[in-house]
Amino acid sequence: MMSSSRFAVCLLIMLAFFLLSSGLRAQTWVFDSGRVRFSIRNAGMKVEGQFSGLEAVVEFQESQAEKASIEGSVEVSGIQTGIGLRDRHLRGKDYFDVAAHPQIRMKLQKLEKSGNQFSGLFQLSMKGKTKEVRLPVQFIKKSQSAGSLQTNFTLNRLDFGIGSSSWTLGDEVSVQVSFELKAEAK
């Protein structure tokens, strides 16, 4: 028969093992909310804006980056630069042509992890053109139940037929995308 002190030690070891092993399970993160912001030079000044209404499906485990799934879209009609007249102009045929191309879409093809850094190969679709782009991706764990995946990158608007070459409007657009995540309850 086991003494009570040996029984207590065995019980503590089993409890510690259970607590440690439950903490080692891969945590799955899913989309909660997000935003897409951008900036571009126009007439020598920085113009900032955003697209409202980011919708996405995200499944991400930090320890299994290769299994990640990220797909998101924004309605181009949700463009906001702070000037209504400019927003209406950007929705027109010369720029985004919202009537023919209502969404900008982004879909992950492959996510790789190197140390603490991630790199994602995405298909980015805008105004009827789809390009493969390699983007840096950062995972930020804010708490046990909240985190985010973020990417900051620059693209050439002319590659997607957004506007035409101009002396006043820059070609390079800085883009910031943030997918706010929540831990999936299992």
pLDDT tens-digit profile, the chain (186 residues): 555 555 444 434 443 343 333 344 468 999 999 999 999 999 999 999 999 989 999 999 988 999 999 999 999 999 999 999 999 999 999 999 999 999 999 999 999 998 888 999 999 999 999 999 999 999 999 999 999 999 999 999 999 999 999 999 999 999 999 999 999 865
CB distance 112 to 101 below 8 Å: no
- DSSP annotation of 92: S
Domain boundary assignment for the chain: 28-183
Q: Which CATH superfamily is domain 28-183 in?
A: Lipid/polyisoprenoid-binding, YceI-like (2.40.128.110)
What is residue 167's predicted lDDT score, i.e. its pLDDT? 92
Kind and range of the H or E element at 90? helix 84-91
Neighbours of 57 (CB within 10 A): 13
CB atoms within 10 A of CB 152: 14
What local confidence, expressed as pLDDT, does residue 48 receive?
98
What tokens were used for 135?
Answer: 């983007």
pTM: 0.82
